[in-house]
Structure formats: C-alpha cells, structure tokens
Chains A and B, each alone.
Chain A
Amino acid sequence: MTSQDEGKSRARPDKAVLVIAVVLVGIAALVAWDAAHLSARVSTYSRVGAAAFPYTVAGALAILSLVTAIAAFRGTFPERAPLEIGPLGWVAGGLFLQIAILPFVGFSIATGLMFALVARGFGGKPLWASIPAGIVLSFVLYVLFSKGLQLSLPQGPLERLI
C-alpha cells in the first residue's frame, strides 16, 4: 500500500491479522446462528423481519474476514510497534481490579485503587502516595454525586460513613 510497508521484510502471512480474520468469521457465525434461532411468532406485515439485518451483517463480516485474510497473506497491514506489556498491564490491571472489587469495597476504594494503578502504569508516583490520593478524589466525587445529584453509586465501608 505505501512504500514504507514494501520496504519491510515481514513474515507472511501476518499471523495477528489472520487471527483477526478468524475472529471476524467467528462473529459472523455467532450472529448468523443467533438469527437462525429467532422464531418470530408475532406477525408483522413487513417482509423484512427480525433476522434479515443480522444475516446481512453476518454476510458482510464473512466477506470482510476473507478480504482480511488475503491482506494477511499479502502483508498489507501497516507496521506495528511491539506492545509494552508493563504499562499496559498496570492500566488493564487497574480496570479489572475496579470491576472485581466494586461490589465489595464500594465506589471510592475501587476507583481510587484503579486510579493508582493507572498512574503507576504511566510511571507515576509510588503507590503509597497515589492510592490515598485516588481514594480521596473518588470519595469527594462520591459525596458530590450522592448529596448533590441524589444518584446512588455503589456503596462500601467508606461510603456508609456518611
């Protein structure tokens, strides 16, 4: 596609792009499977029913998967830099941690820890400093929300104090 790509000697097929093609055809299969199991008993006078759009989308995704596979063999996807697993891991870990502990420790602690891990991923201050900072920030936001807007965010030990 561009001269940059042509100059690189890269393993063909591009395995990661092949994986994308497989995932796409997998999604297409899931969508088509689901559409086939729709049993519209409710009558509608439209000839285009509940399954028509899913089949169209599935068909298009299958074709796109094929074109993607061809692109993998021709190596036309742009060059990618390797992933930095460290920082990525901290950020992803922060998000997972927040989801996992949210129902048990409440909004402030879960979100505060997430903040600290994300900051750590971006090379921030030590955790002993950013964890309290994150929890305080989140707690202030919680108070603004629950008192100011009457919106209920998930509660934990800290939130029950007020």
Chain B
Amino acid sequence: MESFDALLSGIALATQPINLLYALIGVTLGTAVGVLPGIGPALTVALLLPVTFKLDPAGSLIMFAGIYYGGMYGGSTSSILLNTPGESASMITALEGNKMARAGRGGPALATAAIGSFVAGSIATALLAFVAPAIVEVALSFGPADYFALMVLAFTTVSSAFGGSMLRGLTALFIGLCLGLVGIDLQTGQARLAYGVPDLLDGVEVTTAAVGMFALGETLFVASQLSRSQETIEAVRGSVWMTAKDWSRSWKPWLRGTALGFPIGALPAGGAEIPTFLSYSMEKQLSKHPEEFGHGAIEGVAGPEAANNASAAGTIVPLLTLGLPTTATAAMMLAGFQQYGLNPGPLLFTTNPDLVWGLIASLFVANTMLLVLNLPLIGVWVRMLSIPRPWLYGGILVFATLGTLGANPSQFELSMLAGLGFLGFLMRYFDYPVAPVIIGLILGPLAEQQLRRALAISQGDPAALVETGLSIGIYVICALVLLGPLAMRALRRKKAGSDIRPAFED
C-alpha cells in the first residue's frame, strides 16, 4: 500500500489552505472561460499559463488541475443550457442535455452531468493512482491497425444518433465525412477540397462546425417557425433537483461511461470524443426508454459526461508515466511542468513523488470543489433560460461568435460559422439529424489516417489490419454490436409467438 500512503501525503499537500485557494481560483477561472464555445480546457490552460508563473510548482499544478476540470464543467454547462458545445467532447451532452433543458429539466441535466463527472473523475483518478503503469503498457501496444479497428467500432454504433430515418442519418454522416476531407491530407501533404483557398488548408474546425450547426442552426430554425412553435422555454418544470427516478436512471450510465472513458482516454490516440459516442449509443441500446432519446433522455447526458471526464483523467496516464502528451490539454500541462524544469515521464514518479501525488490528489480536490460549487449554482444557471427569448437567442449568438473569434479572429472563420449554421438550419428544416455530421467530421479523418498509416507501415499488406489480438478482439465486438440486437429481436419474437408482426416494419 505504498501508493496509498503516498496518495494520503499528496492529499495532505493539496488540502493545505493556500493550495485549496489555488484550486478554488483554478476551478473558477476554468469554469468562467470554459463556458465559451470554441474555447475548451486546452486553450484555457494555455491562456492562463502565465498566471501561474509566479506560484510554486505545487500550487501551480494544483491550479492547472482546477482549470482543467473547471473548463470541462463549463463546457458541459453551456452545452446543456445554450446548445453551444464548449468543446467537441461535450457535443453529445448537448444532444440530450439541451432537449432536457428546454423541457424544464435543465436542473436534473446539469446535476447528472456534475455528479456523473464527479463520480467518473474520482474513479478514474483512483485508477490513475493505482493502475497507471499497467494501463500504459496496454496503451502502448495499440498500433495504427488497432486504432483503425476502434474507429470501425465507433462507426458501427453511429446509427444511434440517426433519429428516425436511415436515409437522412446516413446522408448527414456522409456530409460530415465530406467536411472532414477538406484540408491538407496528413499522409501526402496535398490539399483536398480546398480549391485554392488558403483558409481551408487546415480543414474545418470541429468546434466551429459544432457551434454553427447546433447553436446557429437551432436559432435560425426557431426563428423560422417563430409564431407556430409553441415551444416556450421553461426554466424549471418539476424539481430543479434529480428525482429518485433520475438517480436510478443515472448511476449505471455513470459507471459505464467511466469504464469506456478511462481506458480509451489513456490510449495515445484515443481522445475524448470516441468514448462519448460509444457511451451514447450504449446507453441508447441498454435504455428501457429508447424512445426518449432525441427528446431529452437523462441517460444520454449521464453516460457521455462521465465518459468525457474519465477520459480526461485517462489522458494523464500517458502524460505522467511516459511524458506523452496525447491531447492538446495534456500538452499544455506538460508545458506547465516544464516551466519549472520538471519533465513528466517514467522518472518523475521517483524524482518528484510528492509532486506527482500532489497533482493526483489535487485532481480529487478540484473535482470535489467543482461539485460543491456547482450543485448550489444549478438553480442560478437554469434561471438563465428564463431570460426573454429575444435576449436569450441574441446572447447565444454573441457567445457563439465570441468563442469562434477568440480562437481565430478572422472574417473567414466567422463566415464558416454562419455557413455551417445555415446548413444546420436547412438540415433541421428537412428533418435531418445534425449530430452525425459532427461525428463524421471527427471520426472520418481519424479512421482514414490510421488505416493508411497501418497500410504504409506494412508496405501495403492488408493482412496487417487483423494481425494483432487487439484488433481482432475489437472486430468481434463490432460484430456483436451489429448482430446482437438482431439476435435479441429474433429471440424475443420466438418467445412472443407468431401473432406479433416482424419488428423491422416500423
């Protein structure tokens, strides 16, 4: 129990009053900046790095931890309330969360997100403390072929975000894949679909697309149906707190989200988005109320939010144990370490154990602090929705454009945001789902690059794609995901007898 003692002394370090103050400042700043769409935790840490220069290493790292987790809380808050995903990983949260908020259930949505983040963050941090070295060995054995298999798995589950029609869902997905092609092809350095426009060489920014299609698209759509839509946003309907039913529907998704998020987050190219996609479709499959999905199902907030937070703790595994920054935020944390001449990596645990454990402990502290601060604030946050509609929608658009311009102050980027907003509006009007566009935009380039990388390393031999146990295992899961529901349905039909009509007619 050497780690346990070390963790206790870390907690002692992190709970010194001055360090608690740093944590408080960190979570406050992180939340405040994190609510801006387009400005996620990575940029928040980057911008606030200079603030921490004056602090001692422990205080500074503790503040980072606070900013990091605070940024994520802020991101999910704006996703739920304003439908403006603060970062790509909270896009899925917006799907169900914003529907809940518009139905007066913003309180429970924020609560399940906050508590789910806390639960997931705590479990994942504990895992980080005790099983990091074991996890990292597995993570390193993932090669391009295994990542490609993982992307295939993510694609097989994507139909859960399709809504009513397979045709419209697939069309949306392929529009997203098409947007994902824009820009320089990483493997050959050639520009695709840029048509000589230099601003397109870097491709379509995911947050610009998500904010455009979600926030602007929705605003335009509501405006186009103004007098007809009887949708009056109610800030609170029923309890602002989670009911017993909400709790019983939330706790399993929290745990399942954590189980997906932590290991995938620990993979060097796993990222935070894929576990949220997987969690969402898993919850939809397992839910007793699949018909509520798309209209504000609490499981669809609880699972992905937990997955998002657990993956954040997961990314710290390769950072601390190997010095591998696998996400933009982790890269900024690395910069934070380096400004004190500390180099995360295999040696850090032996050279600076107190600092490592202090950081792990401060993740716990930041997480707890956010929960304590945020729960009472939920009542205040949801009141934002009772702002009169003209001001609310005006404000949402100010926020959306501010976030986009903050990250890239160019007229072109703003035009792109508006253009994607119109696309989102038209898609809504013709009853196309918009989430598959963003999913395609994120997954398409990842899948393509990993596939081509795997084939280049094997010098074109396709057998390399199914050479490892990992990739075979993932393909087996894909097959189960695809065939499982069919088999279940067949079984159910057998049981129910012959008077029931075949299920695929609906």
Contacts and interface: CB of A to CB of B under 8 A. Distances in A.
Most chain A Cβ neighbours within 10 Å, of B178, B393, B453? B178
Nearest to A58: B178
B188 A49 contact: yes
Most chain B Cβ neighbours within 10 Å, of A68, A87, A122? A122
Interface residues of A, number: 74
Given A91-B223, A125-B390, 8 more contacts: A44-B188, A53-B181, A53-B448, A92-B220, A102-B414, A118-B219, A150-B47, A153-B405
Contacts of B429: 80, 83
Contacts of B477: none
Most chain A Cβ neighbours within 10 Å, of B193, B394, B411, B422? B394
Most chain B Cβ neighbours within 10 Å, of A40, A47, A141, A154? A47
B418 interface: yes
Nearest to B432: A20
Contact of B227 (A54, A84, A96, A125): A84
A34 B193 contact: yes
Interface stretch (B149-157, B243-251, B281-289, B454-462): B454-462
Nearest to A107: B405
A89 B462 CA distance: 53
A71 B430 CA distance: 13
Given A38-B192, A46-B460, A151-B47, A122 B401 contact: no
Nearest to A61: B174
A141 B460 CA distance: 53
B394 A151 contact: no
Most chain B Cβ neighbours within 10 Å, of A34, A46, A78? A46
A122 B389 contact: yes
B188 A116 contact: no
A94 B397 contact: yes
Interface string A34-61: 1100111010111111100110010011
B391 A111 contact: no
A64 interface: yes
B224 interface: yes
B167 A99 contact: no
Interface of A: 1, 16-17, 20, 24, 27, 30-31, 34-35, 38-40, 42, 44-50, 53-54, 57, 60-61, 64, 67-68, 71, 77-78, 80-81, 83-84, 86-88, 90-92, 94-96, 98-99, 102-103, 107, 111, 114-116, 118-125, 130, 134, 137-138, 141, 145, 149-154
A24 B33 CA distance: 39
B225 interface: yes
Contacts of B431: 77-78, 80
Contacts, number: 198
Contacts of B181: 31, 53-54, 57
B167 A123 contact: no
Given A60-B174, A77-B431, A90 B456 contact: no
A38 B195 CA distance: 11
Nearest to A85: B224
Nearest to B460: A47
B397 A114 contact: yes
Closest 6 CB pairs of A and B: A124-B390, A46-B455, A119-B390, A122-B390, A46-B456, A87-B223
Most chain B Cβ neighbours within 10 Å, of A47, A53, A137? A53
A84 B455 contact: no
B402 interface: yes
A152 B407 CA distance: 9
B397 A115 contact: yes
A123 B175 CA distance: 34
A150 B192 CA distance: 34
B181 to A, nearest CB: 6
A50 B501 CA distance: 47
B500 interface: no
Contacts of B457: 45
A84 B430 contact: no
B201 to A, nearest CB: 14
A115 B396 CA distance: 9
A120 B390 contact: yes
Contacts of B458: 45
B171 interface: yes
A95 B187 contact: no
B502 interface: no
B411 A84 contact: no
Contact of A149 (B33, B188, B462): B33
Interface in B88-120: none
Contacts of A95: 216, 397, 418, 421
Nearest to B187: A44
